[in-house]
Amino acid sequence: MELIKLLGILIVIIGFALKKDSILIILSAAIVTALVGGLGIPGMLDTFGKSFVANRSMAIFILIMLVTGTLERNGLREAAASLIGKVKNASAGKVVAAYGVMRGIFAAFNVSFGGVAGFVRPIIMPMTVGAIESKGEKVNEEHLEEIKGMASGMENITWFFFQVLFVGGAGGLLVQSTLASLGYEVSLLDLAKVEIPVAIFALLVSIVYYVLKDNKLAKKYYTKK
């Protein structure tokens, strides 16, 4: 009788083999497993609740991915590309630079947009493509790969340097605890004050580097004969 508790696994295997809706398959398997395992509906909901709280960061990430996927299906990428296409003298490098400024400001308040998967890919990348196409050019695949690296790099740089500005954030607490273990007692506010010029300098260097790099790549791939 213990083997009946594995019925949920069988449902998952059959469901995916028949290419049914993945969310429906997992939900059905969870309900069946809870029932045959003796948890019941109340026990299943209690387990779901505890798991969500214990792994809320991952759960929020999954929710962001679902929302992003739904928006993409309903024209998010096209809307982003169309919007930037209306901006005069827009370029992929300038789009990445503008994103860096915005990302830095929000990171200073510990606000995340979902990172590369949740924001850069569905919004920033279509904008860079739209900026190129607005000039009547066809996007070069090698250039596009470089832009992906630039946008992802800007995301990582701004989040790394600016999140420490948020007093009480994970970054600041990590730095404070590391310094404390080395014998340096510093307040989070003092850390933020020291980090401000460092973060701004990192952002400016990144903007200059990515804009110049994009200009160089644009001349390489789109210079008209």
Give pLDDT tens digits for 82-109: 666 667 788 899 999 999 999 999 999 8
**pTM across the whole model:** 0.65
Report the distance separating Cα 96 and Cα 69, nearest Å.
22
Domain assignments of the chain as residue spans, ordered by start: 2-54, 79-222
- Residue 215's identity, in one-letter code, is N
Report residue 42's pLDDT band, with 50, 70 and 90 as the boundaries. confident
Report the distance separating Cα 221 and Cα 223, nearest Å.
6
Compute the Cα dihedral for 188, 192, 194, 199 and give only its sign.
positive
Give pLDDT tens digits for 113-140: 777 877 887 888 888 888 888 888 888 9
Is the per-residue pLDDT at 225 higher than 50? no
- Residue 104's identity, in one-letter code, is G
Report the distance separating Cα 91 and Cα 97, nearest Å.
10
Contact 161, 169 (CB under 8 A): no
Would you call 111 exposed, middle or buried from its count of C-beta atoms within 10 A (0-12, 13-18, 19+)? exposed
Give pLDDT tens digits for 152-167: 999 999 999 998 888 8
Compute the Cα dihedral for 92, 98, 103, 104 and give only its sign.
positive
**Residue 65, token pair as written in the block:** 């991915």
Neighbours of 161 (CB within 10 A): 22
